Amino acid sequence: PRGAILSGPPGTGKTLMAKATAGEAGVPFLSVSGSEFVEMFVGVGASRVRDLFKTARKMAPCIIFIDEIDAIGGAREKNSMRSNDEKEATLNQLLVEMDGFDSSDHVVVLAGTNRPDMLDKALMRPGRFDRHIVLDKPDLEGRKAIYKIHLSPLKLEFPVSDVFAGKLAALTPGFSGADIANCCNEAALIAARHDADFVELKHFESAIERVIVGLEQRSRVLSPEEKKTVAYHEAGHAICGWYLKYADPLLKVSIIPRGQAALGYAQYLPDDQYLTSQEQFTHRMIMALGGRVSEELNFDDITTGAADDLQKVTRMANAMILKLGMSKKLGTIVFEPKDTNMQVHKPYSEETWELIDAEVHRVIDDAHTRCKNLLTEKIKEVEKVAEELLTKEVLTREDMIRLIGPRPFEEKNEAFKKYLDPDTKQQ
Ligand code: ZN
């Protein structure tokens, strides 16, 4: 092949993979970023592409790696008023160079992107980037293997064990390779800051939190009333999750303000799964509403604290109705805007439009009612958790079990079974 596209979310090792390929092949490696070609001045990008390929031909055999190729290779817009001449000239030059390879040119072009859907189809034609390699986020076992690599240079209390790496992997669903490297490094820094002799599990736990939600902001002082609101809000989410079968299990809930989570935040443990059932979807919506509903039940007034939650709920309801065919009234039809001018030309009738509106409302109202019923029934538990949160600021899964008993269902999550259940707790 002349070229291949490496696609995947940020931090999954596209650049590393390209470098490793060059290393294995024992050839020089030229790395550029797509954004380097995008300049204000017309013609500069194209001439840079020409120079790059000229150098590559001299060094051949070699591998060129173009990161963020979507910066130049994004689909050429057909109807846009303001076409980007410079970007198009750069893209065309790239295509010309790749077409100009003959079989004696031993230059392979790899390109990285996290938006493969955005790329111009012309790039994917045979003889150009015709191979498409997907690098996805690692699953539980994948993360465990990556942890083992990044744990090995750290000074730990015990030699790196399967159980320890597995436990960290279980605690960090959705982490990419780069996140894991970052987390191990943070843990070592935190241990050093505390003058610890070893990097321990608690250091990893703070590091994981830091990677997910940012640094604690102890300087952000909440008034006692605000703190109480946040505690009851978070307790509402936590209780909903605790008694809903398909909600993700809770690991920790905290009301210490942090970088991205303005007020409180909770850490859950989603399963590595690829399909979500309708009931699961509904349970997630109920759980997201738990904060606001708890405020409604426990205070005279409601706050802006639920803004993010409501956005999430609305997005989920829209997805159910518009994309997933989860409304009996509308049937299994996808309502997707055909082009960006949807505001002008709606692809469906006024009645359908009204029905969509009504169905989205119904789905959210149903979830709200179920949430309210649940939290009214469990109002004592909400209070217990909220008051404990007010005094301790952080509650773990163990604290929750102590306060309100274990969840009434078995944890289905593989990570729990394998690495987090009490009998595998000791290292
Ligand atoms: Zn919330």
| DSSP character string of 67-103 | ESTHHHHBPPPSS-SS--HHHHHHHHHHHHHHHT--T
Residue the block writes with tokens 């999954």: 12
Each of the 427 residues of the chain gets a pLDDT tens digit; together they read 778 889 888 888 888 889 999 999 899 998 888 888 776 667 778 888 888 888 888 887 889 898 888 887 776 655 455 556 777 778 888 888 888 777 667 888 898 988 888 888 888 888 788 888 898 888 888 999 999 999 999 888 888 888 889 888 888 888 899 999 999 999 999 999 999 999 988 899 889 888 887 777 677 777 888 889 999 999 999 999 899 988 888 888 888 877 655 577 788 877 767 788 888 889 999 999 999 999 999 999 888 888 888 999 999 998 888 888 888 888 888 877 655 555 556 677 888 888 888 999 999 999 999 999 999 999 999 999 999 999 988 898 888 989 998 888 877 666 776 777 655 443 3
Q: Exposed (0-12), middle (13-18) or buried (19+): which is 120, by Cβ within 10 Å? A: middle
| Amino acid (1-letter code) at residue 135 | L
Q: Which of 234, 295, 296, 381 is catalytic?
A: 234
CA of 307 to the centre of ligand 1 (A): 8
CA of 234 to the centre of ligand 1 (A): 6
CA of 232 to the centre of ligand 1 (A): 10
Q: Within 13 Å, how many C-alpha atoms sit on residue 93's CB side?
A: 22
Question: Does the CA dihedral 384-386-391-394 come out positive or negative?
Answer: positive
For residue 302, the SS3 value is coil
CA of 195 to the centre of ligand 1 (A): 36
- Per the annotation, the verdict on 381 as an active-site residue is no
CA of 280 to the centre of ligand 1 (A): 18
- The model carries a pTM of 0.74
User: Which parts of 81-236 are beta strand (E)?
Assistant: 107-113, 131-134
